[in-house]
Amino acid sequence: MELLAAVGGFIVPIILIVLIILILASNIKVVQQSKAYVVERLGAFHAVWGVGIHFKVPFLEKVAKVVSLKEQVVDFAPQPVITKDNVTMQIDTVIYFQITDPKLYTYGVEHPMSAIENLTATTLRNIIGELELDQTLTSRDIINTKMRMLLDEATDPWGIKVGRVELKNIIPPREIQDAMEKQMKAERERRESILQAEGQKQSQILVAEGEKQSLILRAEAAKEAAIKKAEGEAEAILKVQQATAEALKLLNEAAPNDQVVKIKALEAFQAAADGKATKIIIPSEIQGLAGLCASAKALLESDVKPPETKK
């Protein structure tokens, strides 16, 4: 019995020491990077622990909230909105935000994500209600900028910094989509018709330019041919005149008598007789010469004729 009492008296302190060590170890907190611990003492805010090792007083202090300081992204479900021209459409948004004050984030608002979602929906309805359908579809950047400014200002008391807002999808009613598709198809067909007309126009212009160039080249060729022909004829005439001049020069140098001149004149009239003239007037000075030539020709023919044979 004494032994058991001694062992029991030895074990109890050990258990107490172990319990104390475990309690102290469980109250040592290591805060990680991009994290923040909101600590309360006796139910009231005490401090915000940053990166490092911290000791929490047992039974008096507790970590009320662990807050992430990273930038976070929330994709909200599509919200029905009505445009200025009474078109109802579905728009879903994406919010990029970061917690800048863990204390305000913890105590500023209950259910911060739900509060941001409701605030986003109401802000979006207010902005879209001032725009018509076409403006809504073409003014995403303007809508994003306005929403970011309004949400950032509204979430400042909650310790939240809204860095970016994006309209992920804008879904108009089905009949509006069909009308837009028909409009886009008509626009594409119009552009295609314009391109075809422009192509035909360019083709006709090129054909006309080709015909014009062809006519110009033909005219230039005809002009060159006419010039070459005229130059050739002029050169031929010049050659004939030069030959005639040379012949006259040689004839003058030879000092021909009257009989030679008369024979040359007879040759000229003979050449004239070969033409289509029906009458030829022969000067009197060469008529005798012509008769003489005819007599000489008859005499020569009689001398050449062979003698007749007797039967």
Out of 3.40.50.1580, 3.30.479.30, 3.10.129.10, 3.30.40.10, the CATH code matching 71-178 is: 3.30.479.30
- Inform me whether the pLDDT recorded for 181 exceeds 90: no
- Secondary structure (H, E, C), 243-274: HHHHHHHHHHHHCCCHHHHHHHHHHHHHHHHC
Q: Token pair 């020569």 is at which residue?
A: 300
Model confidence band, residue 58 (pLDDT cutoffs 50, 70, 90): confident
Helix, strand or coil for residue 111? coil
pLDDT (0 to 100) of residue 259? 56
| Averaged pLDDT score across all residues of the chain | 80
Q: Quick one: which of 190, 116, 213 has its CA closest to 159?
A: 116
- Inform me whether the pLDDT recorded for 217 exceeds 70: yes
Helix, strand or coil for residue 166? strand
**Which of the two residues, 150 and 275, has the higher pLDDT score?**
150
The answer to which of 12-16, 39-43, 223-227, 293-297 has the lowest mean pLDDT is 293-297
The answer to which of 15-24, 91-100, 248-257 has the lowest mean pLDDT is 248-257
pLDDT (0 to 100) of residue 276? 53
Model confidence band, residue 309 (pLDDT cutoffs 50, 70, 90): very low
CA distance 205 to 196: 14
| Averaged pLDDT, 121-150 | 89
Model confidence band, residue 73 (pLDDT cutoffs 50, 70, 90): very high
pLDDT (0 to 100) of residue 311? 38
| Averaged pLDDT, 297-311 | 48
pLDDT (0 to 100) of residue 97? 94
Beta bridge partners of 167: 93
- Inform me whether the pLDDT recorded for 298 exceeds 60: no
Instruction: Give counts: helices (H), strands (E), the chain.
Output: 8, 9
Most confident option among 87-96, 278-287, 294-303? 87-96
Query: Are the beta carbons of 133 and 87 closer than 8 angstroms?
Result: yes
> How is the chain split into domains, by residue range?
2-67, 71-178
| Averaged pLDDT, 296-302 | 51
pLDDT (0 to 100) of residue 40? 92
250-288 confidence digits (pLDDT tens): 766 766 555 555 556 555 555 555 555 555 555 555 555
Helix, strand or coil for residue 109? coil
